Structures are given as structure tokens and as C-alpha cells.
């Protein structure tokens, strides 16, 4: 039997058994606070690491007897506020409010996803002072004996491995972001 499905299906859909939500405004307030706390905690952990770095390099610069090492430590110290700013800036933007249309929301997500793409200029801005500072510190403590070479070489090796892994990870992240942007664009195209 083929009747027009409109009213029947609407009634069927709206007549589903549902558990009436029992969330009170107070419970929602608590959830909102939890979400905000979690986002802030992440940012504060990052900031804590930056502060630790600043204190550590400041202390190193203070106690080291080698002038070149002190210069390197001070360069690292100067880099920590930049890192703190970057960590703070990485916090997700607040979601559009109820006034946003679905299209607006899709655009918002696209912008958020696009932000996750590795920004090579930003990475260079972070890594260049960091590596320059490390190079200066290394130059200051450059081994004079065979034993000191043995101590320093594993660190250099680990650093080289980290660099290779980091570059591979950046490439992978780039591909993932591009895939997700394509998905979102397809979604947007379908919505129009």
C-alpha cells in the first residue's frame, strides 16, 4: 500500500519513545565549567613548561662560568616567552553561538582544521632561536677530550633522530589536514 508518507512518517518519527532529559541548568553549568577548566588546564600545562624552561635557562646562565654557554642560555631564555605565546594562541577558538547557521559552522570548522596545518614559518620562528641557542651552548662546552666526545655524541644523535621524526610527522600532519579539508569542502558542496 503506497500512501503519501508525510503525516504517517512525521507521526512515527515524533512518536518515538524518548527519555526525557533530566539535566538541570545547574548540572549544565557544572559541565560548562568542566569543559572550560579542561581547555584552560591544557594551556596552563604548556605555560608551566615554558616557565620551567625560563627558570632553568635563567639559572644555567647565572651559574655557568663559560661566557659562550651563558649567551646560549640567554638565547633560550629569550625564546621561552615566544613559546608561551604560541602555546596560548593554540587554544581552540570558541564555537559559534546559536545564531550561526550550519554553513557558518562548517566554515568555522574549516578554519579550525586549516589552523592545524603545519605552519613552516612559525615552526622556523620557534626552532631557529632554539637551535641557535643550543648550538651556542654546544660551542661553549665543545669537548676537549675523547671522553667528553663520548658524552656529547649520543645527545647529538638523539637530536638528529628527533629532527627526522619531526619532519616525517609534519608531512603526515599536512596530508591529514589536506584530507580533512577536502572532506569539509565536499560536505560544504553537498549542502549548497
Partner 1 sequence: MDRAAGQDERYTAAAAEFGGAIERLARAYELDAEPRRDLIQDIHVALWRSLGAFDGRCSLRTWVYRVAHNTAASHVQKRRRSRPERGVTLEALEAHADTDNPEAKAGERHALDRLMAIIQALAPPDRQVALLYLEDLDAAAIGEITGLSAGAVAVKIHRLKALLARRFAEGGRA
Q: Which three cell numbers stand for residue 21?
A: 532529559
- Output the smallest distance, CB 129 to partner 1, in A: 33
Q: With contact defined as beta carbons under 8 Å apart, do 103 and 62 qualify?
A: no
Among the residue ranges 58-66, 79-87, 145-153, 181-189, the one whose residues contact partner 1 (CB under 8 A): 181-189
Residue from 41, 101, 119, 151 in contact with partner 1 (CB under 8 A): 101
Q: Name the residue among 117, 116, 114, 123 with its Cα closest to residue 163.
A: 123
- In three-state secondary structure terms, 58 is helix
Q: How many angstroms from the chain centroid is the CA of residue 7?
A: 49
At which residue does the C-alpha cell 560548562 appear?
Answer: 32
The residue among 59 and 175 lying less far from partner 1, judged by its C-beta, is: 175
Residues in region 110-169 near partner 1 by CB under 8 A: none
Residue 65 found at the interface with partner 1 (CB under 8 A): no
Q: Which three cell numbers stand for residue 28?
A: 549544565
Residue from 74, 109, 126, 129 in contact with partner 1 (CB under 8 A): 109
Q: Cα separation of 171 and 114, whole Å?
A: 15
- Output the smallest distance, CB 42 to partner 1, in A: 16
DSSP 114-163: HHTS--HHHHHHHHHHHHHHHHHHHHHT--SSHHHHHHHHHHHHHHHHHH
Among the residue ranges 71-79, 103-111, 128-136, 155-163, the one whose residues contact partner 1 (CB under 8 A): 103-111
Residue 95 found at the interface with partner 1 (CB under 8 A): yes
Residue from 28, 124, 160, 163 in contact with partner 1 (CB under 8 A): 28
Which residues of this chain interact with partner 1, rule CB under 8 A?
1-6, 8-10, 12-14, 16, 18-21, 23-26, 28-29, 31-32, 35, 95-106, 109, 180, 183-184, 187, 190-192
Amino acid at each position: 500500500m503506497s500512501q503519501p508518507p508525510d503525516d504517517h512518517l512525521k507521526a512515527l518519527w515524533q512518536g518515538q519513545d524518548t527519555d526525557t532529559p533530566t539535566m538541570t541548568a545547574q548540572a549544565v553549568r557544572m559541565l560548562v565549567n568542566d569543559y572550560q577548566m579542561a581547555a584552560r588546564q591544557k594551556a596552563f600545562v604548556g605555560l608551566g613548561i615554558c616557565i620551567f624552561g625560563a627558570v632553568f635557562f635563567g639559572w644555567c646562565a647565572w651559574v655557568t662560568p663559560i661566557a659562550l654557554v651563558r649567551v646560549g642560555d640567554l638565547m633560550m631564555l629569550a625564546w621561552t616567552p615566544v613559546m608561551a605565546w604560541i602555546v596560548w594562541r593554540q587554544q581552540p577558538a570558541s564555537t559559534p553561538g546559536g545564531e550561526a547557521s550550519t554553513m557558518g559552522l562548517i566554515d568555522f570548522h574549516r578554519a579550525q582544521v586549516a589552523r592545524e596545518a603545519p605552519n613552516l614559518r612559525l615552526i622556523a620562528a620557534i626552532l631557529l632561536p632554539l637551535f641557535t641557542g643550543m648550538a651556542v651552548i654546544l660551542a661553549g662546552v665543545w669537548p676537549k677530550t675523547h671522553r667528553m666526545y663520548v658524552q656529547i655524541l649520543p645527545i647529538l644523535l638523539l637530536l638528529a633522530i628527533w629532527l627526522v621524526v619531526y619532519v616525517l610527522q609534519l608531512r603526515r600532519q599536512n596530508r591529514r589536514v589536506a584530507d580533512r579539508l577536502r572532506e569539509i569542502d565536499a560536505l560544504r558542496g553537498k549542502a549548497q
